[in-house]
Amino acid sequence: MKITVLVPTYRRTSDLARCLDALARQRRAADEVLVVCRGADEETQAWLVIEKSRARLPLVKVEVSQGGQVAALNAGLDAVTGDIVAITDDDAAPRPTWLERIERHFANSPDVGGVGGRDWVHEHGMTLDAAEPDVGRWQFPGRAIGNHHLGVGAARDVDFLKGANMSYRVSAISGNAIRFDTRLRGSGAQVNNDMAFASTVRRAGWRLVYDPAVEVDHYPAQRFDEDARAVRGSRSWVAIENESYNLHLIVRDEYRGARRGMALLWLTVVGHGACLGWVNLARARFIHRETTALQRWRAARSGAALAKRDHVQRRLDSVEREFAG
């Protein structure tokens, strides 16, 4: 099997250098390494000229004019020539057995469309080292459980994967014309684009496998989006609105009928993550005494309303095209 590694990057050459150093140390070498960068990112462009001259990796530069992670990932997918595309972030460093273990999963199971693993998060001089057996699951009635950075145990099927450490069988995505969702909002990292993509692959009939032994080290770096001036862990209202919008679109795609209604009701009543529902609003306001809780809740509800509007409009447009045809 031929393996292409895809790394989107933007103005983080020191992080990218660490990532490519790790790729150069793989026990199973990559057949192709695509680095996707913006044409206007002069710092990265100049750095890549020097890196390519070292000739230690089969490095290919892919330029994209549009901003945002979704545009970069789609440009990378269009350039892939391998049978497997392994995707990681520029602020991640795959461990030496990363590609070897990924290839083994795809080779042994032809019905596997995606493989992901643990990203060991290093922040503030510490490594997050908790252990969670439940990873990458949609839990009834509509709660998304991530925990990809804390997963332990044997390899198992999951509902979605995480962008810092995920790989796909190219025939699974090209055969179904699957791309990262351009509807998702955000000027830099369109939050939950990885969840949306993986869920689409699974709904197309492919298995997704999470194996904690497929490992990368993850060093969350500065962002250049609506949270650029925020400290990791704090959010702007626009970022919360965008995250809520994306999550509600994904839920509307994931579920149908009564299940969709129950999942949306869960998000309204309880909420998820930064997207506060009524229950989490009350907890934040009256138990944790968060003075900005109401603003967070309003931003989340605004995102939900916009997602509903756009989802309904898309359905109406689809009906109109059907009748016009």
- Choose the final residue of a domain: 218, 249, 273: 218
Contacts of 290 by beta carbon, 8 Å cutoff, 6+ apart: 284, 296
How many CA atoms does the CB half-sphere of 173 hold within 13 Å? Answer: 26
Q: Please say if the pLDDT value at position 229 is more than 70.
A: no
121/293 Cα distance (integer angstroms): 27
Q: Is residue 226 one of the residues assigned to a domain?
A: no
**Do 157 and 299 belong together in one domain?**
no
**Do 151 and 102 belong together in one domain?**
yes
Q: Is residue 96 one of the residues assigned to a domain?
A: yes
Nearest to 207 by CA among 320, 307, 111, 110: 111
Identify whether the C-beta of residue 106 lies closer than 8 Å to the C-beta of residue 28: no
Q: What is the mean pLDDT of residues 155-179?
A: 96
Q: So what's the pLDDT on residue 231?
A: 42
Q: So what's the pLDDT on residue 314?
A: 86
**Do 52 and 165 belong together in one domain?**
yes
Contacts of 232 by beta carbon, 8 Å cutoff, 6+ apart: 123, 220
**Do 244 and 203 belong together in one domain?**
no
Distances, alpha carbon 98 to alpha carbons 92, 152, 279, in Å: 12, 16, 41
Nearest to 147 by CA among 167, 157, 162: 162
Give Rg (Cα) of the chain: 20
| β partners of residue 117 | 211
Q: Is residue 315 one of the residues assigned to a domain?
A: yes
Query: Quick one: pLDDT band at residue 318, thresholds 50, 70, 90?
Result: confident
How many CA atoms does the CB half-sphere of 306 hold within 13 Å? Answer: 18
**Do 204 and 266 belong together in one domain?**
no
Q: Is residue 175 one of the residues assigned to a domain?
A: yes
Q: So what's the pLDDT on residue 160?
A: 98
**Do 19 and 129 belong together in one domain?**
yes
| Full-model pTM | 0.93
**Do 154 and 207 belong together in one domain?**
yes
Q: Is residue 229 one of the residues assigned to a domain?
A: no
Q: Please say if the pLDDT value at position 76 is more than 80.
A: yes
Helix (H) or strand (E) holding 15: helix 13-24
23/31 Cα distance (integer angstroms): 11
Least confident among 27-36, 193-202, 203-212, 220-229? 220-229
- Choose the final residue of a domain: 150, 184, 218: 218
**Residue whose token pair is 């795609």:** 253
Q: Is residue 225 one of the residues assigned to a domain?
A: no
Q: So what's the pLDDT on residue 58?
A: 97
Q: Is residue 232 one of the residues assigned to a domain?
A: no
**Do 167 and 199 belong together in one domain?**
yes
**Do 245 and 153 belong together in one domain?**
no
Q: What is the mean pLDDT of residues 79-96?
A: 98
Q: Please say if the pLDDT value at position 276 is more than 90.
A: yes
Per residue in 88-110, pLDDT (tens digit) is 999 999 999 999 999 999 999 99
Q: What is the mean pLDDT of residues 35-51?
A: 95
Query: Which tokens is 48 given?
Result: 């890549």
**Do 148 and 286 belong together in one domain?**
no
**Do 180 and 305 belong together in one domain?**
no
**Do 63 and 202 belong together in one domain?**
yes
Q: How many domains does the chain have?
A: 2
Please tell me the total number of residues recorded for the chain in this structure.
325
Q: Is residue 245 one of the residues assigned to a domain?
A: yes
Q: Please say if the pLDDT value at position 322 is more than 90.
A: no
Instruction: Write the DSSP assignment of 46-96 as a string of letters.
Output: HHHHHHHHH-SS-EEEEEE-S-SHHHHHHHHHHH--SSEEEEE-TTEEE-T
- What CATH number should be reported for the domain holding residue 51? 3.90.550.10
90/48 Cα distance (integer angstroms): 13
Q: Please say if the pLDDT value at position 230 is more than 60.
A: no
* Domain ranges, residue 205: 3-218
Q: Please say if the pLDDT value at position 187 is more than 90.
A: no
219/313 Cα distance (integer angstroms): 39
- Choose the final residue of a domain: 170, 189, 218: 218
